């Protein structure tokens, strides 16, 4: 049995709609661009990300 820790790859603010994806290249979150428009949401929002208890960071597989 093989176990690995997963990280979220994308997130959306539940309050203002800001969308971000993880950039392995930069090692940080990057704002999503859709149809040429950055999905920044409200810059003054205290973001509440959609990463909840439903996200399971521990993944096991049969090796």
Q: What's the mean per-residue pLDDT of the chain?
A: 88
Residue span of the structural domain in which 54 resides = 2-61
* Position 63 pLDDT exceeds 70: no
pLDDT digits (tens, 9 = 90+) for 19-57: 999 999 999 999 999 999 999 999 899 999 987 777 777
Dihedral over Cα of 52, 55, 8, 32: its sign: negative
The total number of structural domains that make up the chain: 1
**Rounded Cα–Cα distance for residues 49 and 9 (Å):** 12
């Amino acid at each position: 049995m093989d176990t690995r820790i997963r990280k979220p790859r994308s997130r959306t603010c539940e309050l203002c709609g800001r969308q971000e994806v993880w950039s392995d290249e930069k090692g940080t979150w990057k704002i999503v661009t859709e149809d040429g428009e950055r999905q920044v949401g409200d810059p003054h929002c205290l973001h509440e990300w959609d990463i909840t208890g439903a996200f399971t960071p521990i993944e096991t597989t049969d090796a």
